[in-house]
C-alpha cells in the first residue's frame, strides 16, 4: 500500500526581476516595480509531496528525517537570502515562483521521493511543479463580491424552493467569492516565467473580477439571464471567458476553482487539461 505525504516548510527571502541584457527602461517595461534595486521580499510557504509504500511502522518516511533534509538542502540556504545570488540556477533564470519551485524539486529529488512541490509566494500567488521537464503550474487568486438567485423561470417559487432551498428566495443573496485560476506552460529558460504575470492578472481582472464584482449576477451579467448562477455554472463560465485570452499569452488554462463559502466550492478543468490533474 502506498501513500503521498506532504511536509510544509517556510522561508523568507528577497529577489529582483532584472535581465542584464536589457536596459533599465526595458526592465521596467517588462517587470515593473519588481525590477527595482535591490529587490523585494516574500514570506514563502513550501509544500513538498512525497510518494512511497507505507512501512511496518505506518510511515512512508520518518518525518523528522524529512524535516532535516528539507532544512539542510533548501530552507537553511534560502532563508533570509537574496535569491538571485544564492544558487547558480537563479543566475541563469530569474527566481520566479515557478522557477524556484522547479529548482527545489530538482534539488530534493536525489534525497527524497518527491512527486510535487508547491510554493506559495502569497495567499494569491503560488506555483506547482511535478517533475514534467520545463512545464509548471501557476495559480493566481482573486476576489469578487456578488449576489445571485438560484431559480428557473419555468418553475414556481415553491418548485424552485424544493430544488434550491433558501437560495430561491426572490430577492437573492450574496457571497464574497474567492477565485483561483491555474495556468500551465513551459518555464522560459531566461526569464523563469511560464507566463507574463502582470498580463495574466490583467486578463483575470478585465474578464472576470471587474465585470462580476458588486453585481447581481442574474441581472447584471448577460450570460446568467438564461443560466442559473450556481457556483458550478459560474466556474464554467469563467473557464470559457479565460481559455482564449490565456492562450494568447502563451499559456494554457488548467483549472478554475471558485470558493463560494467556507463550506462550498467547486473546480472545473479546462477542456485541454487531463481529467485527473
Q: How far apart are CA 72 and CA 40, in angstroms?
A: 24
Of 167, 243, 266, 267, the catalytic one is 167
Whether 214 sits among the annotated catalytic residues: the reply is: yes
Q: Choose the catalytic residue: 40, 143, 173, 214.
A: 214
Q: Kind and range of the H or E element at 116?
A: strand 114-122
Angle (CA) 151 156 160, round 5°? 40
The answer to whether 40 is a known catalytic residue is no
Evaluate whether 238 touches 223 at the Cβ level (below 8 Å).
no
Q: Write the DSSP string, 122-155.
A: ETTEEEEEEEETTEEEEEEEEEEEEEE----TTS
Q: Catalytic: 3?
A: no
CB contact at 8 A, 148 and 221: no
Contact (CB, 8 A) for 238 and 224: no
Active site residues: 167, 214, 260
Amino acid at each position: 500500500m502506498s501513500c503521498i505525504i506532504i511536509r510544509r516548510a517556510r522561508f523568507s527571502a528577497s529577489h529582483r526581476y532584472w535581465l542584464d541584457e536589457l536596459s533599465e527602461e526595458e526592465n521596467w517595461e517588462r517587470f515593473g516595480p519588481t525590477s527595482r534595486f535591490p529587490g523585494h521580499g516574500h514570506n514563502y510557504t513550501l509544500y513538498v509531496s512525497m510518494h512511497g509504500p507505507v512501512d511496518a511502522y505506518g510511515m512512508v518516511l520518518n518525518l523528522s528525517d524529512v524535516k532535516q533534509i528539507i532544512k539542510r538542502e533548501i530552507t537553511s540556504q534560502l532563508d533570509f537570502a537574496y535569491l538571485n545570488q544564492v544558487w547558480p540556477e537563479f543566475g541563469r533564470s530569474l527566481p520566479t515562483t515557478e522557477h524556484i519551485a522547479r529548482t527545489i524539486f530538482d534539488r530534493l529529488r536525489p534525497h527524497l521521493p518527491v512527486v510535487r512541490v508547491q510554493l506559495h509566494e502569497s495567499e494569491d500567488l503560488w506555483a506547482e511543479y511535478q517533475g514534467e521537464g520545463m512545464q509548471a503550474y501557476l495559480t493566481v487568486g482573486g476576489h469578487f463580491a456578488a449576489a445571485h438567485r438560484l431559480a428557473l423561470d419555468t418553475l414556481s417559487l415553491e418548485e424552485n424552493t424544493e430544488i434550491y432551498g433558501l437560495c430561491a428566495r426572490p430577492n437573492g443573496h450574496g457571497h464574497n467569492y474567492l477565485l483561483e485560476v491555474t495556468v500551465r506552460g513551459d518555464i522560459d529558460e531566461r526569464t523563469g516565467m511560464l507566463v507574463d504575470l502582470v498580463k495574466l492578472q490583467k486578463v483575470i481582472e478585465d474578464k472576470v473580477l471587474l465585470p462580476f464584482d458588486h453585481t447581481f449576477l442574474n441581472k447584471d451579467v448577460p450570460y446568467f439571464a438564461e443560466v442559473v448562477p450556481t457556483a458550478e455554472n459560474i466556474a464554467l463560465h469563467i473557464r470559457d471567458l479565460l481559455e482564449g485570452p490565456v492562450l494568447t499569452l502563451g499559456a494554457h488554462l488548467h483549472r478554475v476553482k471558485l470558493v463560494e463559502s467556507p463550506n462550498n466550492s467547486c473546480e472545473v478543468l479546462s477542456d485541454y487539461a487531463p481529467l485527473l490533474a
